[in-house]
Structures are given as structure tokens and as C-alpha cells.
Amino acid sequence: MHIPPRVLTVAGSDSGGGAGIQADLKTMLALGTHGMSVLTAVTAQNSLGVQGAWDLPAEAVRAQFRSVVDDIGAQAVKTGMLSSAELVETVAELLAGLRVPVVVDPVGVSKHGDALLAATALDAVRGVLLPTATVATPNLDEVAQLTGVRVEEEADMRRAAGAILDFGPRWALIKGGHLTAGRGSGDSAVDLLTDGTEEHWLRAPRHDNRHTHGTGCTLASALAAQLAKGDTVPQAAAAAKAYVTGALAAGFRLGAGIGPVDHGWRWRGAH
């Protein structure tokens, strides 16, 4: 009997299915792992934006986590939307007891610009959540929100990574997808993975496709899935980048706004 590697996502629900828990579980399945979930929030969300969001009680988050970890276990954990200081502190406390890779995606805003992290929770993210991370995966807006460092060109990404590493994660993966083409990145989407000593610049072609909802969740989940399969952090980041690049290229229209990346692009290509 083959038992796939187990990956746990601790994140919010996206009712439109493009990001959040839904994107995480699709990604984990696509990469050959068994995804499990701890729901932290429910959103009313579609291709146009987030119409409402409701946090779950901390005790519900704690109970879900213990139910999964104490019985099934996990070989990697990924965190996403943790919108309040109480939820950040609760999840950080739970993660501190684990001895498996943890990918922290410090979700700040949605693709549509909707705030998903209370300003009062920022100190908790910096002080207790990021120190639990094997890899932290902020985009450029989240870097600015957490550190005040604004990345205007590719050369600034090294300084951004250093500011994130100062909060305690072992590795920082600075996602440069929002970097304007021509600011040192040419026509490629570039990310920087570093532990402060090693540097890995991950490049992929930019795709002219506006349907990019869920890219951050998908990358972090792909990274966690690869770590659960035994990859090193640099190997996992490269594989996650390749998967997300394909999903971005195949992103499709859904509703009247921004559609999702295609988590099943490899399967569809094979059929």
C-alpha cells in the first residue's frame, strides 16, 4: 500500500476556489501528496474580490490542528491567511511543537487589494510566526508591510530578504512577480531564495495572462509538498517555481474579474 506524503495547510477558505485552502489542497494533490487542512477563516470571495471574511475561534483552529497532527501526522506544514493577532499566536504556538518543515506565507492582501491581515497582527507575525518558518514566502507588498523595505528593482530583493531573515525564518523566498518588467528583471519573473549565505535566483518567463488568482498560495503549497517529499529547500523552491509557472500560463477566465491559475495544468496537458 502506497501512502503519499502528508501536508497540512493552515489557512482561510476561498469560496471561489482559486486561492486559500482550496488552492492549497489542489496543489498538494497535483504534486502527489495528501493534503489536510486547518481552517482559520471563511471568506465570501469571487473573481471580483472579497465580499466578507469571518475568523474561526482560536479554540476551533487548535482543535483541528490537534486532531490531524496527533492522529495522522504531517511531513510538512504550510500557513496562509491568519488575520488576527490571536490566530497568529495560536498557530505559532502549535507549530513550535513540530519537527517538520514549515512554510509561512504571510498573507497580507488579496489579489484584488482586499486586506486579509489586521494591522494589529503584524507584530505577532514578526515576533512569533516568522521564527517558526523553515521558509517564509512574502511577495513585495508583504515585504513592505512587514519590514518597510520597498523593492523597486531586482537589486533591492537582497535587502528585502535580509530584512525578512532578521525575524528568524531559516530561509526567505522573496517573490518578485510584482516587480515591473524592465526594472532589472527583463521580461522574466524573478524570485530570490536565500538563507543569508546561499543565494538562488529563480527565473521564469512572464506570461501575458491576467488570470493569476492564487499564485502565492499555490507557490507556498507546492514548496511544502516538495519538502514533504524530501527535497532540500533549494530543490523544493525550484520545483515549486516550475509548477506555478505552468499554472500561471494556463490560468483561465472565471466570472467577471480575475480568474485562477490552473492547478491541474499538468493533468490536462497529459489528457
Q: What is the pLDDT of residues 154-202, one digit of tens each?
A: 999 999 999 999 999 999 999 998 776 544 445 788 999 999 999 999 9
pLDDT confidence tier of residue 117, bands split at 50, 70 and 90: confident
214 is catalytic: yes
Q: What is the pLDDT of residues 17-39, one digit of tens each?
A: 999 999 999 999 999 999 999 99
Residues in CB range of 160: below 8 A, 6 or more apart: 140, 143, 147, 149, 151, 172, 174, 192
Select which of 16, 108, 216, 246 is catalytic: 216
- Exposed e or buried b for every residue in 23-51, given b needs 16+ CB within 10 A? bbbbbbbbbebbbbbbbbbbbebbbebbe
Model pLDDT, residue 184: 47
pTM: 0.95
Select which of 214, 246, 251, 259 is catalytic: 214
212 is catalytic: yes
Q: What is the pLDDT of residues 119-162, one digit of tens each?
A: 888 999 999 999 999 999 999 999 999 999 999 999 999 999 99
Task: Answer yes or no: are the C-beta atoms of 265 and 53 closer than 8 Å.
Answer: no
**H or E stretch covering 217:** helix 215-228
175 is catalytic: yes
CA-CA distance, 5 to 28, in Å (whole number)? Answer: 10
Lowest-confidence pick of 42-56, 57-71, 107-121: 107-121
Model pLDDT, residue 180: 60
Closest by Cα among 177, 6, 157, 170 to 78: 6
Q: What is the pLDDT of residues 234-267, one digit of tens each?
A: 999 999 999 999 999 999 999 999 999 999 999 9
Select which of 217, 218, 229, 251 is catalytic: 217
User: What's the rounded mean pLDDT across residues 206-214?
Assistant: 93
Model pLDDT, residue 118: 76
Model pLDDT, residue 169: 98
Select which of 215, 218, 229, 241 is catalytic: 215
229 is catalytic: no
Bridge-based pairing of strands 49-55 and 34-46 is: antiparallel
pLDDT confidence tier of residue 210, bands split at 50, 70 and 90: very high
Model pLDDT, residue 163: 98
Q: Looking at the predicted structure, is the pLDDT value of residue 110 above 90?
A: no
CA-CA distance, 57 to 264, in Å (whole number)? Answer: 33
214: region left, alpha or beta (phi > 0 left; psi from -120 to 50 alpha): left
Mean pLDDT of the chain: 93
Q: Looking at the predicted structure, is the pLDDT value of residue 85 above 80?
A: yes
Select which of 212, 218, 245, 259 is catalytic: 212
Model pLDDT, residue 108: 78
